[in-house]
A and B are shown apart, each in its own frame.
Chain A
Amino acid sequence: EDKVVQSPLSLVVHEGDTVTLNCSYEVTNFRSLLWYKQEKKAPTFLFMLTSSGIEKKSGRLSSILDKKELFSILNITATQTGDSAVYLCAVSDQTGANNLFFGTGTRLTVIP
């Protein structure tokens, strides 16, 4: 069965710190890996990664995929209290359904 494992499960940091969130996966016929941020409502899309070694960046957030070692990291630099959320990693496979298989998420808390 396809599996996505995120670590750590939770993390508390101070504003200004840099954090690295991890996601490892086992999926048959990998298509893509996605990162979402979930605050109180719906997951909001951050990145989609399909190729190894190519960093995707958006402001203070960046992410990279290693398809050989089957993992991805999400980095957040100069964290702010607004970064507090659950960060979800998901992978999709090559089936026509394009279903996403989610990890359990990393709960990040940024304290002032």
Chain B
Amino acid sequence: DTAVSQTPKYLVTQMGNDKSIKCEQNLGHDTMYWYKQDSKKFLKIMFSYNNKELIINETVPNRFSPKSPDKAHLNLHINSLELGDSAVYFCASSQVGNTQYFGPGTRLTVL
């Protein structure tokens, strides 16, 4: 009965590869988000997705692309991975204007 789930929990890959992280929420929320947490523990918004409207943080490279097959899922696809992409990626969901609930995170390591 996990509220917000992500897979995989850990992802180790080589530079230049393409990878995806999946996120699912069973809370019936209408908005989902992706955050990146760097080695200094700073959490930064990457994307929010609400009713098929995608809002992108302008600092996010276009190698990152969110894909939402339906309201309960927001996957993160990353092309041409770079060393600096190593971080923990958190998915979250909320009803608009309400508290966001976070998934357990995916630790991405790019070698």
- B96: chain A residues at CB < 8 Å are 96, 98
Inter-chain CA distance A99–B96, complex, in Å, is 10
**A99 touching B102, Cβ below 8 Å:** no
Residue of A nearest to B42 (CB): A104
Interface-lining segment among B48-56, B61-69, B71-79: B48-56
Given the contacts A96-B96, A97-B50, A42 and B90 also touching, CB distance less than 8 Å: yes
Interface of B is mostly: strand
**B48 touching A99, Cβ below 8 Å:** yes
Inter-chain CA distance A104–B57, complex, in Å, is 18
What class of interface size applies to chain B in its complex with A? 20 to 34
**CB 8 Å contact bits of A31-55 with B (1 = contact, 0 = none):** 1101010100111110010000000
| Of B44, B94, B101, the contact of A102 (CB 8 Å cutoff) | B44
Number of A-B residue pairs at CB separation under 8 A: 65
Query: Measured between C-beta atoms, what is the minimum distance from A37 to chain B in Å?
Result: 11
**CB 8 Å contact bits of A71-107 with B (1 = contact, 0 = none):** 0000000000000001010101001111111101101
Inter-chain CA distance A105–B44, complex, in Å, is 12
- B57: chain A residues at CB < 8 Å are 99
**B55 touching A102, Cβ below 8 Å:** no
Inter-chain CA distance A100–B110, complex, in Å, is 26
**A48 touching B42, Cβ below 8 Å:** no
Given the contacts A42-B103, A98-B31, A104 and B48 also touching, CB distance less than 8 Å: no
